[in-house]
Each structure stands twice: as C-alpha cells, then as structure tokens.
Structure 1
Amino acid sequence: MRHFPIFLDLCGRTALVVGAGERAEAKAAALAAAGAAVVRHEGADLPTPEQLRSASVVFVCAGDPAQAAATAERATVERVPVNVVDRPDISTFVMPAIVDRGDVVVAIGTGGAAPVLARRIRARIQQLLPERLGRLAGFAARFRGTVKAAVPDFDQRRRLWERVLAGPIAEQVLAGREAEAQAAMVEAINRREAPPAGIVHLVGAGPGDPELLTVRALRLIEEAEVVIHDDLVSPDILSHARVDALRIPVGKRQGRPSTPQAEIEALLVRHARAGRRVVRLKGGDPFVFGRGGEEIEALRAAGIPFTVVPGITAVLGCAAAIDLPLTHRDHASALTLVTGEGRAGARPAMSAAPHQTVALYMGTRAAADVAQGLMAGGRDPETPVAVIENGTRPDQRVAFGTLRGLGDLVRADRGNGPALVVIGETVALARGAPEATSARQAACA
C-alpha cells in the first residue's frame, strides 16, 4: 500500500483549484459539497506563495503541463497537499473513486495507476450498497448517546447494535420507514436482550429476466435466510439466493393444485417470528394480482415488520420484450390491467371502448369469454391481440391474431408457461405483428 487512505475534513477550510474547464468546475463543485471554501485560480500565471499557504489543499486542473508541474512544485515547497489531475508522479496525494451515501463514504484507490479500474470497482460497489445507507448511519448516530446511557455494559451494547444494524430496524430505515424504525429502536433499547425479531420483504421478481430485478430486490434476495417463492419465479432469479437459504415453493399456477393462501401467510409469520430474514418472492409486482395486499394484512395482524419492493409487472416486461407500446397518442390513451381469475372464478368486467389497451393476466382460460364480452360491448372484432408466453425469458413465444379469433389462438398456441394476453390497436405496432411487418415492407417498397 503506497498511499495511506485518509478522509480530510475541509468544512470551512480553503481549497484552491488551479485551472479552468470542466474538470476544474467538477472539482470545485465536489469540494463545495464537502463544505470547503473554494478559491479559483484560472489564469496562466502561478498561484502566489500566499495563496498556497492559505489553502488546506490544492487541486491542479491546468491544461498547460508546465504550469501544472510548477504549481505542484511550489505547493510542495509550501508543504500544502497537492493533487494534479492525471499526474500521480508529481502529486503528494491521489484522488480515489468515491461512492457517496451521505454519512457513509467509500473510497477506491489504485494509486493513480488505473483510474478507469477504480471507477469500474466503484460501479460494482454502488450496486451493492443501499441508497439510504447514509440515512442508516445517521439513524444510528441519533441513538448512540441514548443506547450508551441505557446499556452501560460494552458487550451488551455491541450485541444490541449488531441486532439493530443486521435486522428489521435497519431494513425499515433502508426502506424509508424511519418512523416505524424509531419506535422499534426505542422498544429494542428497553428490552435489551430480547430475542431478535425477523422481517418479511415482499419482493417483486419481475416477469422472469434476472436483469429486470431492481437493485434492492437483488440485495434482499442475496441476504435472505428464507425465500418463499411463487412457481412463476425463474430458476435464474432463485440462483441469486444464498446457498444455505431455505427455499420454499408455494406455487400458484392456473388450473393446477396450489398452496392455500392461508398456509403461505402462516409460513411468513412463523419464519419471521423465529428471527429470520424472509423474502416473499413474487412474479411481477407484489401489488398487481400478486395477493400482496392480503399478505401485508396478515403480517400487520401478527405484528411482523415488513417492507414491499415493487417489481416490473408482467405487461410492462412482456410489452418491452416485443417493442409493443402500451399507450400511443394515435392509438391508445388508456391501459387497463385485469385478471382472468377472481374469487370463485369470477370473470373480469372491463370497458369495450376503442383506443385503449387491455392486458389480461392469468386469462388464457377466460380469453374466449373476454373476447365475446368485448365484441358484444362494441369492440371491433378485428382489434389486434397478442398472446405472450414466458415473456422476457429465453423461451419466450408470441402469437398474434385478432379479437374475433382469440379463443382459437389461445387453444392452438398454448404452451406450459405463464401467458399474458394483450388486446388493443397498439399490438399492430409490435415487433413481429403482421400489421407491423406489412407497414415496414410498404415503407421499403
């Protein structure tokens, strides 16, 4: 380790930036954000010894190599730390790549040898660290004195902080639910050695492509001790769970035996009460036909802390996978999401008005009845439709047709994967749609 890492407090102190242009502007802005009193020297001459001595640190962004070298030499004589952009050989310190999470800052250095590598490492770390990590550090700081006064014993205090920062309280802060976290923290301080409580995260896994997971969803899956997952969640997504994580399938597939909802809710409560970090992993989004509302009611009733992580719902992922615009100023000004299966097999009710897109979830069995209902209500029988099976996945299959033939289309082209039905004028614009193909051929003729 050639360079000793250090964090410098520049709040209220002078930082001298020598040079002009984008790099100098960016450096000055970063220093000002750290609370420094920034002084700019943009001329072709050298800073005076008085300017250098009054500075706590000097950054040289001059385009003239001679001016940069002379400034660095003069700063060194005055014993002022100096950094010259892209010249670690004449700098007394080098700048790291920085991950800024408020009170939490991570610096990555390569000794000036490979700045691009440092930036690549920073990008990976940014993916791993929650955006609200600094808020968590601030939350801990606010309770530090209270905890020290309430728990004088150092070992007990350390164990308390370990439980807090690795448990539900920290997760609530990271989820932006600080009021709940504060109440739980007060209780934790009063109880001290109480058994740690678990937490449940309702996580949307999206339509199947792992790259469509949110950053937070991926982190929670990787940290979970128990993953209770839908049958629709792809193996590629489940592979991100820890090797030692308990994986419990609770499949819900149309027309097949499935785990009762009450049993799923009991599993969530039982494992959380055992102090485990539980991820309830759902295909698509937890609150779009995912029964997430029912599960948070059960968790609230049981006093279990929880968070909800949205996912890309099926119609958004499937439409993007085939370049199908769900709304369009010329063709569709509304989007309706309906499910083909309600309680007791109830069929969906929807408007048959034109110029709106209908996304039918879990609706292959109901497709023919839905089509008949729309046509009876006045929807054009020639309205384009698409049946998208295993959308966003490598085995994705798409069939195009019209509203008049939707029932036959579903029966003739139905595989074993989850399928979504999209009805509306914009389907004609999708990649592979007969109307879109004809339009492109006409344009090229």
Structure 2
Amino acid sequence: MPLYPLFADLNDRHVLVVGGGDVAARKTAMLLKAGAKVTVGAPVLAPELREWVQQGRIIYKSGAYQPDWLDGTWLVIAATRSRPLNARIAADGHVRQRLVNVVDDPALSSFQVPALIDRSPLLVAISSHGAAPMLVRRLRERIESLLDPALGSLLQLAQRYRARIRARHTDHTQHRRFYDWLHDGPVHALLRAAQPLHAERQLVAALADRAVPKATGSIALVGAGPGDPGLLTLRALRALNEADVILHDALISEPILDLARRDALRITVGKRGGGTHTPQASIHALMLEHARAGQRVVRLKGGDPFVFGRGGEELEFLRAHNVSYEVVPGITAALACAAYSGVPLTHRDHAQSVRLVTAHCGQSLNTLDWSELARERQTLAIYMGVGQLDELTQELIAHGRGGDTPFALIENGTLPQQRTLTGKLGDLPALATRHAISAPALLILGEVAAQADAAHWYGELLGDPPQHLAYLRTLADAA
C-alpha cells in the first residue's frame, strides 16, 4: 500500500524520542525546528542532547525505556541501536494508537520521515516507502538545486498580503496573472538580491493599481565556468532553467547548454579564435530587445562575467537603459585550470600573490607593465595568450624573469580533452608548437607551476620529453 502523505503540525505538541546517540540528536533537531515539545529518553545522552537539556530546550527521561514514557505523546521516534527494543517501542506505540517511526526500519514504522527540501513555508518531501533511501537522497539533491532559496521569502510575503491580493483581483484570470507576475517579476528578483524592503514596496505599489502589472523582462549575467558542467553554481543552474532566452558565448560547451530549459531560445554570440564575430553593440541590442519583450534573458559567459568577460560593459549598458539585472559569478579559468592540473596559485614557499593577465592581442601586450610581471614569488595566470607565446616569453625574460621559471599551459581546461603542458619558460614557444597547443588555453607561470608534474590528476600531461614516455622509461629501468 502506498503511504498517505501528511504534513503534521507539531507546534507545542509532545513528541518522544527514545535513544541518546547522534541519530536521536539529528531527529530531535528537526522536531525542535518544527516547534515540538521533545522528550528524550535514554540511559546516556550525546553531548548535543545534554546541552539542550541544560538549556531547557528538551525534557530528559534518564534510564531504560518505560512504556509510560508514551503517555501524552502525539508521535514517537525510536532511535536506539537495539532492534528488539525498537520493536517493543513500536508495539507499545501501536497499542496506544501513536504514530511511530523506527529509524531505518520501515517494517516496524507506522510513518516515515521523508527527505525534506526546506524553503519555509514551502516544504517539499520525498519518500520511497523506505525502499531506496539513497535514490531519495539523490532526488533531494537534484530538486534542492532547482529551488531558489528566495522562494521562502516570496511565499512569506505572499502569505502576508494574500487577503489584499484576493480583494484586489477577484477575477480568476487576473488573480492567476498577478501571482505569475509576483513570481516572475521584480518582487522575486529583489528578494533574490537580498532587498526585502524594496520587494515589499513593489508589491504594495502593484496592489494600488487595479490592473495586473505587465511582465517585465530581466537579464542575468551568468558565469558558466571553464567548461565542466559540474562546476556550474546552483544559482547558475536555476537561471538556466528559468530562462526564456539564452545569449551564449561560442565557447560554452554543449553539456552545459543541455542543462538549460528545453524550450528556451538559444542565440550564439561572441567569437572564437578569430572566427565569426558578434559585435558587442549587437549583443547589447539583443539583450535589450528580449528584455523589453518581457522575457527572462540569460547572458551566458565562459568563466566569470567580470574576469575578461565584458560583464562590466554590459552592466553599464543595462543600467543606462533601466533594465533589471542580476549577476551570477562563475569559476574563472585561472582557478579551475590550476585546480584540474594540481597547481596551487599561491603557496607559502613560492608565491604570495596572483596576477590575472589577458594577452588576447598585440595591443594588450603593449599595455602591460613587464617589470612588475617579471617579478619572482608571484604567479601569473595569462588568459588568451596562445597566439603570443613568443612575445610573452621574450618580454618576461628581457625584464628579468629567469628562463628556467616553470610553466603549465592548460588547453581545454576541465574538459575531457584537457591537456597540460609543463616545462621551463625559455622552452615555452617551442614546446607549445611541438605539441600543437591551441586556444582555448591558459598559461600559469611561476614556481608553483612545477607542482603540476607531481600533482596533476586530470587529462593528459605533456612535457619534454612527454611525461608518459618518461614514466614508461622509469618502469623499464626498474625492470
């Protein structure tokens, strides 16, 4: 038989937990959060439970379980390590018509404690009737990632104004459209931006007008990270699932786009390796067009929008045109490529600072302070520099950086085809040519880059000689 789903109001109601270990403490914490008056019975208590007794938050019954502990309780949780004792507690509870949960034992239980996603007052509960708790955990993680944390605040606000909303919009269609606006419009956006007072003012202003507010568009500048979809933030994933339109860079990987809402309009913008080019002004025009049409637009950028991503320019444009926006940071390539190659960007013994540098064209090279970049005991993370490796090497060595400085050149960082080339600065251009390194690639230069030879863990490791050949030779010598 399927379980009957039920949300119980336990506020100021007595609940018994039998058991004094960590599991009992976890169950007690959930009950206290629900406002229950909790009695815990056990010979000894875990430190957390003892602390709650001292604080007066729970009642403690010391000693072995007694059936009269059940008197006056609404429900019971058996969390002891003894199945015979748990079975006895369950039997006593059933005789007294109490709801009983025996932890991890559905056969003895008359109710199950579901996996819970808490966006109070919104609660989402998942149960497999105790058959597949690991699957339930996975489902909970998936749903958790899709539900905006600001939903709880939105529901609380809607709850406070429910009567006024119903009085203002008595027509069913208008009533539904108002709630659609409440969820999709500026109120929810302001709550996500941690501006509850402004959100409430927007709601009050909307209720002053009998007409349902028109849908207003918005822009989310979203960092997609370096390519591995597993590095997307939860907020970025939610934005992709809510988007009507996605304006994405050419470097955004298909696995990331596959996570987006299926019916969203996808438009490729940007350029790759000097190929097709969407001017920045055209990107601005597309953002404005779709936002003014009342659509939720995601401007999806590789890495982080504010690290060599023109996010600042786009934000200035949106402000100038009074378009609502939010910014969702992404993991920038320097952090991700270094991590996937086993390179710490800072190290107590080798580097006390990191410089993020772009070298995507000759003009950008001319603006760099080479004497500062050539200093030791710092790490350089150079973006978009594959086409200028000769110039980079010459300038750094000319300004005092040693030709034996270690480097790690990471191609297609975090993607399955990642390759990491290591060596010395003086050999960088020749090695990159020999191994046909191409964009996108990130150069890490400094003493920390030597860590890649030992700590590299993802993708193919290249060197001079290639690292896999050196490893085979080591094995041959040992044989």
- For normalisation by structure 1, the TM-score amounts to 0.90
Query: Contact between 1:250 and 1:264, CA under 8 Å: does it hold in 2?
Result: yes
| Pairing 1:32–2:32 present | yes
**Please, which of 338, 361, 386 is the counterpart of residue 319 of structure 1?**
338
3-state DSSP class of the match of 1:203?
strand
Q: C-alpha distance in 2, partners of 1:111/1:398?
A: 48
Deviates more, 1:314-323 or 1:111-120: 111-120
Letter aligned with residue 404 of structure 1 = G
Post-superposition Cα deviations, 1:82-103, rounded to whole Å, max 9, x if no partner, equal 2222333333322222222332
Match of 1:60 in 2: 78
C-alpha distance 154-47 of structure 1, shift in aligned 2 (>3 A): farther
Match of 2:57 in 1: none
Post-superposition Cα deviations, 1:218-277, rounded to whole Å, max 9, x if no partner, equal 232233221101111112222223343221111233544521112111111110110111
C-alpha distance 139-403 of structure 1, shift in aligned 2 (>3 A): farther
TM-fit CA distance, 1:187 = 4.2
Match of 2:305 in 1: 286
Letter aligned with residue 19 of structure 1 = G
C-alpha distance 87-423 of structure 1, shift in aligned 2 (>3 A): closer
Match of 2:353 in 1: 334
Query: Contact between 1:207 and 1:317, CA under 8 Å: does it hold in 2?
Result: yes
Match of 1:421 in 2: 443
C-alpha distance 64-310 of structure 1, shift in aligned 2 (>3 A): same
Query: Contact between 1:31 and 1:38, CA under 8 Å: does it hold in 2?
Result: yes
Match of 2:231 in 1: 212
Written as runs of structure 1 = structure 2, the 5 A alignment for 1:384-423 is: 384-423=406-445
- Number of equivalences: 443
TM-fit CA distance, 1:388 = 1.8
Query: Contact between 1:331 and 1:426, CA under 8 Å: does it hold in 2?
Result: yes
3-state DSSP class of the match of 1:365?
helix
Query: Contact between 1:206 and 1:313, CA under 8 Å: does it hold in 2?
Result: yes
Unmatched runs of 5 consecutive residues or more in structure 2? 44-62
Letter aligned with residue 274 of structure 1 = A
Written as runs of structure 1 = structure 2, the 5 A alignment for 1:97-108 is: 97-108=115-126
Match of 1:306 in 2: 325
- For normalisation by structure 2, the TM-score amounts to 0.84
Match of 2:378 in 1: 356
Q: C-alpha distance in 2, partners of 1:174/1:305?
A: 12
Q: Percent identity?
A: 45
TM-fit CA distance, 1:424 = 0.8
Match of 1:2 in 2: 2
Written as runs of structure 1 = structure 2, the 5 A alignment for 1:247-286 is: 247-286=266-305
Q: C-alpha distance in 2, partners of 1:180/1:401?
A: 55
3-state DSSP class of the match of 2:161?
helix
Query: Contact between 2:270 and 2:279, CA under 8 Å: does it hold in 1?
Result: no
Q: C-alpha distance in 1, partners of 2:362/2:199?
A: 36
Post-superposition Cα deviations, 1:345-373, rounded to whole Å, max 9, x if no partner, equal 45333522101110111223343333333
Letter aligned with residue 12 of structure 2 = G
Post-superposition Cα deviations, 1:277-310, rounded to whole Å, max 9, x if no partner, equal 1110101000111011111111112111111111
Match of 2:399 in 1: 377
CA RMSD, 1 decimal: 2.9
Match of 1:19 in 2: 19
Q: C-alpha distance in 2, partners of 1:91/1:257?
A: 63
Query: Contact between 1:53 and 1:80, CA under 8 Å: does it hold in 2?
Result: no
Q: C-alpha distance in 1, partners of 2:368/2:361?
A: 7
TM-fit CA distance, 1:148 = 3.4
Query: Contact between 1:135 and 1:174, CA under 8 Å: does it hold in 2?
Result: no
| Pairing 1:141–2:159 present | yes
Q: C-alpha distance in 2, partners of 1:354/1:3?
A: 66
